[in-house]
């Protein structure tokens, strides 16, 4: 069972592939579709962006597609950077500059007031439209300095609410069981498997008796 993952972020694709690995679903990279269109993430919500990315690539490839959009919401910043997480430091932002800006704007804020949460929205679509959209949330705290070398994005600053370590300090196998993206894709896996079962029934495939 194959599904196209609508992202050109190789770190994200690798993480999603690992999350889907234990299921019967194989993640297919957009690298296999060099002519696939670029999707502008100009939606007003994570949900809108995920839906747009999934639908546009599903219509181009004519295959089942998943896409996610994730954001970091910091309470002390009234939910920022939110939908602008990837470009928090402005045009051409990198993981490094985004983290530096986050530390700068939270300078002087005590740890107990640095509560935050990661939110991930995952859309599943085929060429006919959106199949479903699911969401995963994980709560934590923003550290006062970078810690750990694993992960990507804000992982070196995001302290897990349950493990007391930043996501970047966790082994990928651990993070991929508890994160916002893991929670969202656990729900997405059920959507994909139900979709495939439904398609098989619609096609009236013959069943072989054991």
Could you tell me if residue 105 is inside a domain? yes
Q: What is the pLDDT of residue 202?
A: 59
Distance CA 154, CA 118 (A): 10
Q: Which of 68, 69, 126, 155 is catalytic?
A: 69
Q: What is the pLDDT of residue 197?
A: 85
Distance CA 9, CA 15 (A): 10
Could you tell me if residue 110 is inside a domain? yes
pTM here is 0.90
Inter-residue contact 167 to 158 (CB < 8 Å): yes
Residue 154: partners with Cβ closer than 8 Å, 6 or more residues away: 72, 85, 95, 98, 99, 102, 118, 167
Q: What is the pLDDT of residues 133-146, one digit of tens each?
A: 999 999 999 999 99
Low-confidence ranges of the chain (pLDDT < 70): 202-210
* DSSP output for 174-192: HHHHHSHHHHHHHHHHHHH
Could you tell me if residue 125 is inside a domain? yes
Distance CA 89, CA 130 (A): 32
Tell me, what CATH number does 128's domain have? Answer: 3.90.950.10
Our count of domains for the chain comes to 1
Q: What is the pLDDT of residues 111-131, one digit of tens each?
A: 999 999 999 999 999 999 999
Q: What is the pLDDT of residue 154?
A: 98
- Omega cis (within 30) before 81: yes
Q: What is the pLDDT of residue 61?
A: 97
Q: What is the pLDDT of residue 177?
A: 93
Element (H, E) at 132: strand 129-142
Q: What is the pLDDT of residues 14-32, one digit of tens each?
A: 999 988 887 788 999 999 9
Q: What is the pLDDT of residue 135?
A: 97
Name the nearest CA neighbour of 54 among 3, 124, 136: 124
Could you tell me if residue 192 is inside a domain? yes
- Residue 104, classed as helix, strand or coil, is helix
Could you tell me if residue 88 is inside a domain? yes
Could you tell me if residue 210 is inside a domain? no
Could you tell me if residue 126 is inside a domain? yes
Residue 42 is among the residues annotated as catalytic for this protein: no
Could you tell me if residue 208 is inside a domain? no
State the residue range of the domain holding 79: 2-203
Strands 2-5 and 65-74: parallel
């Amino acid at each position: 069972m194959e599904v196209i993952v609508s992202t050109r972020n190789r770190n994200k694709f690798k993480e999603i592939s690992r999350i889907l690995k234990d299921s019967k679903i194989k993640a297919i990279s957009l690298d296999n579709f060099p002519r696939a269109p670029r999707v502008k993430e100009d939606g007003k919500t994570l949900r809108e962006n995920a839906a747009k990315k999934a639908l546009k690539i599903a219509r181009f490839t004519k295959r089942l597609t998943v896409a996610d959009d994730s954001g970091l919401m910091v309470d002390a910043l009234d939910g920022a950077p939110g939908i602008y997480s990837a470009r928090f430091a402005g045009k051409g932002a990198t993981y490094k500059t985004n983290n530096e800006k986050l530390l700068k704007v939270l300078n002087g804020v005590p740890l107990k007031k640095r509560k935050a949460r990661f939110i991930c929205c995952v859309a599943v679509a085929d060429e006919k439209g959106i199949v479903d959209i699911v969401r995963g949330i994980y709560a934590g705290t923003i550290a006062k300095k970078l810690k750990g070398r694993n992960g990507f994005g804000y992982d070196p600053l995001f302290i897990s609410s349950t493990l007391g370590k930043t996501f970047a300090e966790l082994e990928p196998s651990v993070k991929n069981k508890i994160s916002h993206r893991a929670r969202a894709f656990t729900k997405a896996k059920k959507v994909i498997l139900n979709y495939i079962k439904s398609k098989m029934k619609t096609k009236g495939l013959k069943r072989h008796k054991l």
